[in-house]
Amino acid sequence: MADIAFLLIVFFMVTTTITVDRTPVELPTSLERTEVPKDAAVIAVTEDGAVHFSDGEEDSRLINMEDLLPSAAFIMSKNSLKFFLIKADGEAEYRYIDQVMEQLRQASVRNIAMLTQQEGTG
């Protein structure tokens, strides 16, 4: 029994990832999905337009939309190839995502991914 228990421990230890962002959002669905880097910065946008930001190392924190530009620019000054993940609620109005993209564009961000869940899983 202890063998099985340790096997399970090892499984959970290996599969557990420390997530920097725990903002609850209902992601949109897509058929096309590619793996994104694990150390990417995360921008979470909730349905009501609240923005949570994490640089990929520290836990995400609530920020104002206007503070996204300096935060993103600071990250880009250290690593110009940094990936930014947009983790936005599917029901959020596009205006919020538009604002996020505009800030990222101004911060000269190149690599962006929109997190989605597999279509068909609900």
Partner 1 sequence: MSWKLKKKKESPEIPTSSMADIAFLLIVFFMVTSVFSVTRGLEFQLPTDQPEEQNQTAEEATHIRIEPSGADCSYTIDNNPTNLRDINVYLQPILARNPNKFVIIDPLPEAPYKCMVNVFDELKQGDVKNISIPTQAEKDAWGSIM
- The residues of the shown chain that bind partner 1, judged by CB under 8 A, are 1-2, 5-6, 8-9, 12-13, 15-17, 19, 22, 27-36, 38, 45, 85, 87-99, 101-102, 104-105, 108-119
Structure tokens at 52: 């949570």
Helix axes 68-78 and 94-106, enclosed angle (nearest 10): 40
In angstroms, what is the C-alpha Rg of the chain? 16
41 touches 55 (CB < 8 A): yes
- Minimal distance in Å, beta carbon 46 to partner 1? 11
- Minimal distance in Å, beta carbon 20 to partner 1? 9
- Minimal distance in Å, beta carbon 62 to partner 1? 19
